[in-house]
Amino acid sequence: MKSETQKKILLSGAKPSGELHIGNYIGAVKQWVALQETHETFVPIVDLHALTEPQDPAKLREQIIATAADYVALGLDPAKAAIFLQSAVPEHTQLMWILNTLTSVGDLERMVVYKEKITEGKQALAGLFTYPVLMAADILLYKPTVVPVGEDQRQHVELTRTLAHKFNKRFGQTFPIPKELHPEAGKKILSLQDPTKKMSKSHSSLSYIAIADSSEKIRQKIKSAVTDSGNAIKHDPITKPAISNLITIYHAFSGKEIKQIEKDFTNTNYKNFKEALAEVVIEKLKPIQEKRKDLLEHKQKLIDILEEGAEKANAKASETLREVYSKVGLM
């Protein structure tokens, strides 16, 4: 029991509802890659979550496999991390039901992501509303110590903790309380077209840089990124959100400290900085894109990786679900 609570376990996932972009990488996947060295790592592609918004079935299938290619190309190692499809492990939806019986509707009504989607004009479907409960099940099944996510997921992880506490209180200690982790810089990468919004695959393609974007596209998107008034390359998210966002991206892709970037570009202007940034991003993504292309040419290999991942995930998930069913009184 003690050794289980002390074991370092990571769980996190991304929706295959579009192309993975550099916001997903900087805010989440980069942390998974670093932590897979020291943590037992579970990184589902949360395909059931993608269904909370309308998807074209053929396109969804393609995006799922492309997301698996992105995961591996970005550095997740199938020997270290269980990479799998959420839908391949039925315990996710089974635990969701149990958690549903503990979730207060009022808590779900407070979820900012849900409210934002409704404001954007999305239909108020029950699946979209209860999506955080499925996310809580994704997490708690693996009893993780850390959940590395972007800032937009903070409230969902908080709800997960609330549900873990409720379950433990009512049925006895079962779930360790998971902690969300954010990167020091880049927990919220902003849209290139509108720095009041986060970069998102559900907005126009000019607003994000996909992992798979060609060099020309990357140059074009960075060139047309909106900037703030003035011309100085200065990191100040309050008064200069747009240029600060570009500096954060430069930092994440080059490893250079933000202060150093400001110094290096003291006597230049936005245009020069954007040109340099495009080259940094292109250079970093080049080997990733080559690997991605190779993986997509060998889909069977990806399918094998997903099956192997599902097997590892299943072992853990079925153990937790058995424990939960027994504790709540199911036979």
Catalytic residues: 117, 198, 201
Residue 138, interface with ligand TRP (CB under 6 A)? yes
Task: Give the other-Cβ count within 10 Å of 139's Cβ.
Answer: 27
Q: Which does 262 bind (CB under 5 to 8 A by kind): ligand TRP, ligand AMP, none?
A: none
How far apart are CB 10 and ligand TRP at their closest, in Å?
A: 10
How far apart are CB 331 and ligand AMP at their closest, in Å?
A: 36
Task: Give the other-Cβ count within 10 Å of 137's Cβ.
Answer: 26
- Quote the DSSP letter at residue 150: -
Residue 316, interface with ligand AMP (CB under 6 A)? no
For helices 270-297 and 57-73, angle between their N-to-C axes, nearest 10 degrees: 100
Tokens found for residue 87: 């839908």
Q: Which does 198 bind (CB under 5 to 8 A by kind): ligand TRP, ligand AMP, none?
A: ligand AMP
Return the sign of the alpha-carbon dihedral for residues 134, 311, 42, 207. Answer: negative
Per-residue x/- marks for ligand TRP, 21-60, CB under 6 A?
-------------------------x--x-----------
Per-residue x/- marks for ligand AMP, 15-44, CB under 6 A?
x-------xx-xxx----------------
For helices 154-171 and 112-119, angle between their N-to-C axes, nearest 10 degrees: 130
Contact 193, 226 (CB under 8 A): yes
Stretch that binds ligand AMP, among 132-140, 145-153, 157-165, 283-291 (CB under 6 A): 145-153
Q: Which does 135 bind (CB under 5 to 8 A by kind): ligand TRP, ligand AMP, none?
A: ligand TRP
Contact 243, 250 (CB under 8 A): no
Residue 153, interface with ligand TRP (CB under 6 A)? yes
From the list 254, 251, 264, 257, the residue with the least C-alpha distance to 284 is: 254
Using CB under 6 A as the criterion, which residues of the chain lie in contact with ligand TRP when the complex forms?
11-13, 15, 46, 49, 135, 138-139, 147, 149, 153, 156
